């Protein structure tokens, strides 16, 4: 078993953001000498105030060769200078989840816990929340942690001493956690995402598959990539009729691997195939620690999805506005759009190397309009022009970032080279979103007929950090702008 840093060990924590303080506190508890390095002065100042007893340094140019261990924040790429320099000096580089696993297995923070790991391109957070709800309903001392918000290393140091961890892990976290062997783990699905970080779809898939390295591997059978993965013992789930030993839906009821009923499919929240799949996955993981089908069903019946996940936020003049800002890649946006017959699509941001064309081709018949924002709006507009040429498209940006194109009579509008209309806005990201929602509303009202209007759906298919502080900020801006339409009417 890999060792943990002992008293006097010199450890460099690279990155003082979300996980940095938690890692530093845990290392100090072990007696290590801790240096936290970050390239941002504000981050260094913040962590110095939060965690007494550490050394704080500028990450830029910092030499890792004199340390016994380097613990990197999840977003650090394998090609990051500090990683390359550490490995060249023979210093091991791991992530916070790997450190948490080693500490947990060692018993340094109490008896080892059961880890139930959730990963996938989409649905991770909903599944993890469902799993935590099921475990708590069944009387299990459990906590959700990891990519869902609370660092795993904080969870294992909790005075409440949870015995089961519902651990959401991203591909980044799994990459830096090679030793993790959970009691059970699930790969919900695998679609193009973060290819700019991993370098290839094969590398991305391999990191996701690390969730299946423990006692029980749970796989999404409806996904072409996840369905091909295997573990020591493998069980699958499907939103269709299950085969022997599989979780699925039979005669409108979710059933477990033994065929026992869980709950009616129409009682699952969020509704639709994605919610059903997440519920089945959560049930399979919970049953690995002794939860019954009936207990899982009772918990799922009471479960409600969190914010920014296909959340209706306003209805104004018969048009429903739906915030699915968490749909940060094309695969997630596909699930979101396909839940509606007619959609004004609000999309854009950072595509992170993902190909948007397959999504556009698939959902084109449902689109009555698209309003685009963010870094890669032109790429989405180009794909719409090729694969959905009859769909009206508007691109919205702050003036200094708008594409150069011939002006029409409207001083704020132009016609871009892709055939999309451009709207230029003076102001910050919130002002851009307000203009986006106004344009989407205009298209939706024009497309309404026989008393039925399309939904306006924020399902960006892209990350948010080019404009917003988080996907939550993006969703909040969308919701506020939609509600403001009602206030102004």
Residue 120 has pLDDT above 50, yes or no: yes
Whether residue 409 is annotated as binding a ligand: the answer is no
Residue 406 has pLDDT above 80, yes or no: no
Whether residue 79 is annotated as binding a ligand: the answer is no
Determine whether domain 10-90 maps to CATH 3.40.50.720: yes
Q: Are strands 253-255 and 261-264 parallel, antiparallel or unpaired?
A: antiparallel
Check if the beta carbon of residue 122 is closer than 8 Å to that of residue 190: no
Domain at 311-399+420-488, CATH from 3.90.190.20, 3.30.360.10, 3.30.559.10, 1.10.10.10: 3.90.190.20
pLDDT of residue 192: 67
Whether residue 120 is annotated as binding a ligand: the answer is yes
Closest CA to 485 of 450, 462, 453: 453
Residue 306 has pLDDT above 90, yes or no: no
Residue 402 has pLDDT above 60, yes or no: no
The model's confidence at residue 407, banded by pLDDT at 50, 70 and 90, is very low
Whether residue 122 is annotated as binding a ligand: the answer is yes
pLDDT in tens, 327-367: 998 988 988 898 788 999 999 999 988 899 999 999 999 99
Domain with CATH 3.90.190.20 in the chain: 311-399+420-488
Domain with CATH 3.40.50.720 in the chain: 10-90
Whether residue 292 is annotated as binding a ligand: the answer is no
The SS3 of residue 141 is: coil
Whether residue 124 is annotated as binding a ligand: the answer is yes
Average pLDDT taken over every residue of the chain: 90
The model's confidence at residue 420, banded by pLDDT at 50, 70 and 90, is low
Phi, psi of 451, deg, nearest 5: 80, 0
The model's confidence at residue 69, banded by pLDDT at 50, 70 and 90, is very high
Determine whether domain 100-302 maps to CATH 3.60.21.10: no
Residue 305 has pLDDT above 80, yes or no: no
Please compute the mean of the pLDDT values over residues 165-176 and round it to a whole number: 95
Q: Phi/psi class of residue 204: alpha, beta or left (left: φ > 0; alpha: ψ in -120 to 50)?
A: alpha
Please compute the mean of the pLDDT values over residues 193-216 and round it to a whole number: 86
**Cα separation, 94 vs 360, whole angstroms:** 38
- Of all residues in the chain, the percent with pLDDT exceeding 70 is 93
Model pTM score? 0.73
pLDDT in tens, 37-68: 999 898 899 899 989 999 999 999 999 999 99
Please compute the mean of the pLDDT values over residues 7-36 and round it to a whole number: 94
Domain with CATH 3.40.1190.10 in the chain: 100-302
pLDDT in tens, 246-272: 999 999 999 999 999 999 999 998 888
């Amino acid at each position: 078993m890999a060792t943990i840093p002992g008293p006097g060990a010199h450890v460099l924590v690279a990155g003082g953001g979300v996980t940095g303080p938690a890692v530093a506190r845990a290392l100090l508890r072990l007696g290590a000498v801790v240096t936290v390095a970050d390239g941002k002065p504000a981050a260094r100042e913040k962590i110095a105030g939060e965690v007494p007893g550490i050394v704080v340094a500028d990450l830029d140019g910092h030499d890792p060769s004199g340390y016994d261990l380097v613990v990197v924040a999840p977003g650090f790429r394998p090609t990051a200078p500090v990683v390359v320099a550490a490995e060249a000096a023979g210093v091991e580089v791991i992530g916070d989840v790997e450190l948490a696993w080693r500490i947990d297995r060692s018993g340094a923070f109490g008896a080892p816990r059961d880890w139930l790991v959730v990963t996938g391109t989409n649905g991770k957070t909903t599944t993890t929340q469902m799993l935590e709800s099921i475990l708590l309903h069944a009387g299990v001392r459990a906590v959700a942690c990891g990519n869902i918000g609370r660092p795993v290393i904080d969870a294992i140091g909790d005075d409440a001493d949870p015995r089961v961890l519902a651990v959401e892990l991203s591909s980044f976290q799994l990459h830096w956690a090679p030793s993790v062997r959970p009691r059970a783990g699930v790969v919900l699905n695998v679609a193009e995402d973060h290819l700019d970080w991993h370098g290839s779809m094969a590398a991305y898939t391999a990191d996701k598959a690390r969730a299946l390295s423990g006692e029980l591997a749970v796989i999404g059978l409806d996904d072409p990539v996840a369905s091909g993965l295997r573990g020591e013992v493998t069980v699958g789930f499907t939103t269709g009729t299950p085969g022997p030993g599989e979780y699925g839906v039979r005669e409108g009821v979710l059933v477990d691997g033994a065929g026992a009923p869980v709950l009616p499919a129409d009682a699952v929240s969020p509704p639709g195939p994605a919610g059903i799949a997440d519920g089945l996955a959560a049930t399979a993981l919970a049953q690995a620690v002794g939860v019954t089908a009936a207990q899982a069903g009772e918990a799922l019946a009471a479960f409600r999805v969190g914010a920014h996940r296909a959340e209706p936020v306003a209805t104004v003049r018969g048009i429903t506005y739906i915030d699915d800002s968490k749909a940060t890649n094309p695969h997630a946006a596909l699930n979101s759009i396909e839940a509606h017959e007619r959609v004004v699509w609000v999309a854009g941001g950072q595509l992170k190397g993902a190909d948007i064309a397959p999504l556009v081709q698939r959902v084109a018949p449902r689109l009555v309009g698209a309003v685009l924002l963010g870094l890669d709006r032109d790429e989405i507009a180009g794909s719409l022009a090729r694969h959905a040429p009859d769909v009206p498209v508007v691109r919205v940006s702050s003036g200094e970032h708008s594409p150069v194109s011939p002006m029409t009579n409207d001083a704020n509008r132009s016609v871009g080279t892709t055939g999309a209309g451009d709207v230029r806005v003076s102001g910050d990201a919130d002002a851009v979103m307000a203009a986006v929602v106004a344009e989407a509303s205009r298209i939706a009202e024009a497309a309404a007929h026989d008393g039925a209007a399309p939904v306006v759906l924020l399902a960006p298919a892209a990350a948010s950090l080019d404009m917003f502080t988080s996907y939550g900020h993006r969703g909040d801006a969308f919701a506020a702008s939609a509600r403001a339409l009602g206030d102004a009417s």
